[in-house]
Structure 1
Amino acid sequence: MKTPSAFYKPLAIGAPAPFRELPLSLERMIHFVPPHVEKMRAKVPDLIEKVDVVLGNLEDAIPADAKTDARRGFIQMATENDFGATGLWTRVNCLNSPWFLDDLLEIVPAVGDKLDVVMLPKVEGAWDIHYLDQLLAQLEARAGISKPIMIHAILETAEGVKNVEQIAAASPRMHGMSLGPADLAASRGMKTTRVGGGHPDYMVLSDEAEGVTRTAFQQDLWHYTVGKMVDACLSYGLKPFYGPFGDFSDDAACESQFRNAFLMGCLGAWTLHPKQIEIAKRVFSPDPGEVSFAKKILDAMPDGTGAVMIDGKMQDDATWKQAKVIVDLAKLVSSKDASLAEIYNL
């Protein structure tokens, strides 16, 4: 653990100083693009207008014989497009793979200040973050990069979940974390082949009562892990995200899983299919009715103290804080989405 005085110092001579506060960015959906596919790269200019984050995926779902093409394709799509306020991320291969080092050595100098975040898979402890932190600093210094590249960790092993707090505290480069349910299920020995979402066998039964049919209630397999991740992230000022939902045929279940994550504190989710973009946009933008009511609370309690009655409900400093979370998010959404800005009237 670095001492407080050294925590925000660059780890290489000539590297940019780390952020002391995360940049304010709207990241409702992190949209995955397979950069080795030319027709998918061709869609990036249109995607930039539709999503909050474009991510070039180099890891899972990319065949081994296409890893080099994916890396080169990401560099091409990064250099050929102006991303403006839309984030540019890449998910590199995991640390123990034969491709990780070339991913960083080639991408960082080629893409430079355009690259906002490196998503690191299968993070198991602070040591993984420390290694990438040092490597990024060295590459930034050598390439003359002026803006620090942030790190986003994927929680997809049992050890990673166990060490989630140490991961969150590992570096000032830490941007946030995402839940990776498929690899995590395998790591835990869970008996499911689903990528996110619920399972019909994970349930509780209502109590037995004479003459009453017992009702089964399906539970959320990921509730504990999401809660633990959110607490770790928010304790250190990081951003928590839900990861992938793999059943593209079940939009309702996707929306339900995203909404559970949103209510628990997640700021966004991965979108793997174009139709999930609108789902994420709808879910991770606050409801207009909630925004309107939250504005009433803030207007009635300008300094956030005391207690007032609004629409028959008591409001105090705790609900003022809740209202501020909603209104602040609505303002951030409004800065990018003109249609919602008009609805929110902010």
Structure 2
Amino acid sequence: MTDKNAFRPRRSVLYMPSSNERALEKAKSLAVDGLILDLEDAVAPDAKPSARDNACAAARSGEYGRREVTIRVNGMDTEWHADDLAAASEAGPDAIVVPKVSSADAVRELVAALEKHGAPEHTKLWAMIETPHAMLHAQEIAGASDRLTVLVMGTNDLAKELYAEHVPGRQPLLTGLGLALLAARAEGKAIIDGVYNDVKDTEGFLAECQQGREMGFDGKTLIHPGQVEGANRAFAPSDKAVEDARGILQAWEDGRGSGVVTYNGRMIENLHVESAQRVLTMHEAIQELEADAS
């Protein structure tokens, strides 16, 4: 049977500016699976020290229920990175998110720093991959440490580096997205899709969520609370998928030893059973998460 812990729901992962205390308070009531308390892009240089304090206090507070609480530090090439990493390690969030991770050596350096600063074992590393070099070395990055559990797509930076345009369907980015997905699945890591920039374009956002789900992403990073409901719905198994999964498992159980098993006229093999188990595991994990939030 599939391990539930391997399928922690990450349908919706919302960036929150840690310089905004009201936003951090509001996040406690949002129906979001995960939070990235941001110290990087969303925070002005002169506000970074206070934002760091806010994020660490939030991570220690225990007031976010079963939401996965992470802290995004500033990049390894910035003046704030070392202090961010030390403070975040001490605060012990569910994970520390690091932008622009481009090599396996960087992962190993980050993991060593987490250990040096006493990060508790439950504090994992999430690596943002957002450059052509990172896409071409994604498997090396994903496999560099067991402490790295999630890859996060940085699609805005990837588009910039490629000199590409943001277009419906994301054709210019599909090679990079595909390489990252292959790497994540090859190394048994979760992978979260990049943000959708136009918060007023609901139709475009939902279309990109559907594309991400169909490609195989576990969820989507978000920049506005208004995007949470759509992402949660898009990346959750549909009622039909849950019904079919239960039917497949029942047919498999009933037909054990008969040689050929069918469900609704389709032949069922081990791979279908494994997919059905994954659907039900995710469905049950989401139900538990929502029950705790209600």
TM-score (structure 2 length as normaliser):
0.90
Aligned in 2, Cα 1:328/1:221: closer, same or farther, shift over 3 Å?
farther
Q: Give the superposition deviation at 1:283.
A: 0.7
Q: Give the superposition deviation at 1:146.
A: 4.3
1:42 aligned residue (15, 22, 25): 25
AA aligned to 1:178 is V
The equivalent residue for 2:15 is 32
The equivalent residue for 1:61 is 42
Name the SS of the counterpart of 2:220 in structure 1.
strand
Does 2:94 match 1:116? yes
Does the CA-based 8 Å contact 1:36-1:70 persist in structure 2? yes
AA aligned to 1:40 is A
Does the CA-based 8 Å contact 2:261-2:267 persist in structure 1? yes
The equivalent residue for 1:77 is 58
AA aligned to 1:279 is G
Does the CA-based 8 Å contact 1:255-1:283 persist in structure 2? yes
- 5+ residue gaps, structure 2, are none
Does 2:197 match 1:246? yes
Q: Which has the larger radius of gyration?
A: 1
Does 2:148 match 1:167? no
Moved more, 328-337 or 180-189: 328-337
With a CA cutoff of 8 Å and minimum separation of 6, indicate the structure with the bigger relative contact order: 2
Does 2:78 match 1:97? yes
Does 2:160 match 1:186? yes
The equivalent residue for 2:187 is 236
Does the CA-based 8 Å contact 1:44-1:77 persist in structure 2? no
Question: Over aligned residues, Cα RMSD in angstroms?
Answer: 2.2
The equivalent residue for 1:7 is none
Deviations 1:161-219 (A, max 9, x none): 111010011111011111111111111222x2x4xxx34xxxxxxxxxxxxxxxxxx66
Deviations 1:38-58 (A, max 9, x none): 2212313223xx211122011
Does the CA-based 8 Å contact 2:102-2:134 persist in structure 1? yes
Aligned in 2, Cα 1:266/1:219: closer, same or farther, shift over 3 Å?
closer
AA aligned to 2:149 is H
Runs of 4+, deviation exceeding 6 Å = none
Does the CA-based 8 Å contact 1:304-1:320 persist in structure 2? no
* CA distance in 1 between partners of 2:5 and 2:286 (Å): 17
* CA distance in 1 between partners of 2:247 and 2:25 (Å): 45
Name the SS of the counterpart of 2:63 in structure 1.
coil
Q: How many residues are paired up? A: 287
AA aligned to 2:157 is D
Moved more, 319-328 or 57-66: 319-328
Does 2:283 match 1:330? yes
Q: Give the superposition deviation at 1:148.
A: 3.8
Does the CA-based 8 Å contact 1:30-1:55 persist in structure 2? yes
* CA distance in 2 between partners of 1:287 and 1:160 (Å): 33
Name the SS of the counterpart of 1:176 in structure 2.
strand
Does the CA-based 8 Å contact 2:206-2:231 persist in structure 1? yes
TM-score (structure 1 length as normaliser):
0.77
- 5+ residue gaps, structure 1, are 1-20, 200-217, 340-346
Residue identity over aligned pairs, in percent, reads: 25
AA aligned to 1:157 is T
Does the CA-based 8 Å contact 1:242-1:266 persist in structure 2? yes
Aligned in 2, Cα 1:176/1:22: closer, same or farther, shift over 3 Å?
farther
Deviations 1:278-307 (A, max 9, x none): 011101110011110111111111288843
Alignment of 1:268-287 (within 5 A): 268-287=219-238
Does the CA-based 8 Å contact 1:242-1:270 persist in structure 2? yes
* CA distance in 1 between partners of 2:270 and 2:88 (Å): 47
